Chain A
Amino acid sequence: GQQVQQSPASLVLQEGENAELQCNFSTSLNSMQWFYQRPGGSLVSLFYNPSGTKQSGRLTSTTVIKERRSSLHISSSQTTDSGTYLCARTGGYKVVFGSGTRLLVSP
């Protein structure tokens, strides 16, 4: 089965609304990373977050290792936040990506 499960698969918001993206891992979690995939395909690292909570601007990532899950919270969403968000289990050499959440923020 899938080692990294993301939800929701897609999300549509009005500008200003908050978003909560979830990532669940079927195996033990050493570390994980959140990425934003630009429309052209390139990946932007948002957070390396093996545990605890990290914040950067309107983005907050919380990882609970013993529960094998991580969340990405986007507050006061903007149209420029639209795109695909990917989480990945990055412990060790092998990286496993989730299937992504496609976010659309409309004005």
Chain B
Amino acid sequence: DTAVSQTPKYLVTQMGNDKSIKCEQNLGHDTMYWYKQDSKKFLKIMFSYNNKELIINETVPNRFSPKSPDKAHLNLHINSLELGDSAVYFCASTSARLYSNQPQHFGDGTRLSIL
């Protein structure tokens, strides 16, 4: 009965490869997010979707492309992986409408390591 689940948990790959991370939530939420946590534990938002519509797109290289096939799923595809992409990527979701104060629920993260 995991609320926000990400796959895979660990991803080790070579520089230059293309990879995808998947996220699913079973909470009935309509807003989902991707965050990046660097080696110093600093968390920064990357993208957010509300009902399959992109609503937040921070300054992220266009090698990163989120895709939301439906409001329960938000996947992250990364092209031409670089060493600096090594991080833990967290998916989150909330029931919030735009101006609500509902908290975000986080997945357990995907640790991406680029060799």
A and B pair up: no
Residues of A at the B interface (CB closer than 8 Å) are none
